[in-house]
Amino acid sequence: MVQIFGVRSVSTKLFNRIVGEYCGYWVLYGFTNFSLVHILHHQHSDDEMDPVNPKGMSFIVFLSAPMRYMIKAAKAYLFSVHGKEEDYQKIMKAQTVVFHLNLVLRLAIWYIFLGNFLFLFFYIPSFLTIVTIFAHINYVCHRDHVDGSVEIVNLNHNLYYKVANFFTMGGYFHKNHHTNMKLFNPMSLEHKHSKKKLLTIQSKIYLNPNEQYIFTGSFISKYFSLNSVWIHGERNRVLAPRKFNEHPTSWL
């Protein structure tokens, strides 16, 4: 779904718009709103203007209130562009009311269209699954490192990611997606710099070469790559002497 919102990822603009409107309607945000969030995410990855920046949040917090953070970042961007215009505040207040009203109306339309059974046992699980996977992609594929840098990665190393990438058409190939957001399936990207790190935030501190960080955590947090990112990583990070051939190094 995210690839559709890349604006030009499908061959024709008309087809892209039709599919995009449908996907936007399904997740309630709407095509235009999601497009703005998606473009801002690429232009301002992992900084204050990024609408899906997990900085300072656990995954549960990030998952439970994604819309609030997206709206906040989108408003900050729109204010930076249009904030000096006389009627900006009035327009923004009206737009906020209309946006939330649209959420309710879209939900009501899906309920009327699908009926009780399909709405409860098909639409709601589908919606929650999409939102959860979307949040998880942005949470674990943007990895905050100990030195303060943030790296975008591809994930395809266990059964969950392989299955998820199959059904989402490469959703967890997020590094590839950021390298070329026009791709419908980022798994198809073969890039000459594919082994090179893609950093959105550069290193801020120097790390002692005699030390390394080992990440602990539960099986679930490790399996779903939560133990080494953002708040989870800070909690599970253990400092240890760096080893070479099973012996502590002596760099100095």
Confidence of residue 5 (pLDDT cuts 50, 70, 90): very low
Is the pLDDT at 84 greater than 90? The verdict is no
- 65-69, 153-157, 190-194: which has the highest mean pLDDT? 153-157
Range 104-110 average pLDDT: 95
How is residue 216 written in tokens? 């602990």
Confidence of residue 191 (pLDDT cuts 50, 70, 90): low
Is the pLDDT at 93 greater than 70? The verdict is yes
Say what the pLDDT of residue 128 is.
94
pTM value is 0.85
Confidence of residue 11 (pLDDT cuts 50, 70, 90): low
Compute φ and ψ for 246, nearest 5 degrees.
70, 10
Alpha-carbon distance 181 to 7, whole Å?
9
Residue length of the chain: 252
Q: What is the pLDDT of residues 193-244, one digit of tens each?
A: 567 889 999 988 777 777 778 888 899 999 999 998 999 988 888 877 765 4
Say what the pLDDT of residue 199 is.
93
**Which tops the pLDDT comparison, 170 or 238?**
170
State the CB neighbour count (10 A cutoff) for residue 221: 19
Is the pLDDT at 136 greater than 80? The verdict is yes
Range 3-9 average pLDDT: 47
Compute φ and ψ for 45, nearest 5 degrees.
-55, 120
**Which tops the pLDDT comparison, 239 or 171?**
171
Confidence of residue 12 (pLDDT cuts 50, 70, 90): confident
Say what the pLDDT of residue 33 is.
86
Is the pLDDT at 73 greater than 90? The verdict is no
Say what the pLDDT of residue 67 is.
79
Q: What is the pLDDT of residues 112-134, one digit of tens each?
A: 999 999 999 999 999 999 999 99
Taking each helix axis from N to C end, the angle separating 13-26 and 124-140, rounded to the nearest 10 degrees, works out to 110
Say what the pLDDT of residue 152 is.
96
